[in-house]
């Protein structure tokens, strides 16, 4: 399945609560890493040495209307990731650190 197909399947009005799509950066290209369901399984799928993007669907009640889908994009940069810019300057910054449970 392509990234476009996975996102299209997840970002629509009938997407179930907790459905997600995970994409990783591999040598400057976006690659579909996986799909799944549940926030816990998404958390476990993020790579400690990867840059990932995730699309998560949550179904919430808004203004008294139940079961409204909301599609949320996440950007993840694992704590062991070193991202090199084209100029070969490397950043060892952690943009998002997971909170211990």
**DSSP annotation string for 67-88:** EEEEEEEEEEE-TT--EEPTTS
Write down the pLDDT at residue 57: 94
Q: Which domains does the chain have, with CATH numbers?
A: 3-91 (3.40.20.10)
- 97 vs 13, which has greater pLDDT? 13
Q: What does pTM read for this prediction?
A: 0.73
**What angle is formed at CA 69 by the lines to CA 65 and CA 72, rounded to 5 degrees?**
135
Is a pLDDT exceeding 50 seen at residue 11? Answer: yes
Left, alpha or beta for 34 (phi > 0: left; psi -120 to 50: alpha)? Answer: left
Quick one: pLDDT at residue 59? 93
- Banded pLDDT at 95 (limits 50, 70, 90): very low
Distance, in Å, from the CA atom of 62 to the CA atom of 18, rounded to the nearest integer, reads: 17
- 66 token code pair: 């139940």
């Amino acid at each position: 399945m392509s990234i476009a197909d996975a996102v299209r399947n997840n970002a629509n009005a009938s997407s179930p609560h907790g459905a997600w799509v995970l994409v990783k950066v591999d040598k400057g290209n976006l690659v579909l890493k996986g799909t799944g369901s549940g926030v816990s399984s998404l958390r476990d799928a993020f790579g400690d040495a990867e840059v990932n993007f995730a699309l998560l669907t949550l179904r919430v009640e808004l203004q008294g209307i139940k079961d409204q889908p909301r599609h949320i994009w996440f950007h993840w940069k694992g704590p062991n990731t070193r991202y090199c810019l084209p100029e070969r300057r490397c950043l060892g910054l952690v943009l998002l650190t997971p909170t211990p449970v």
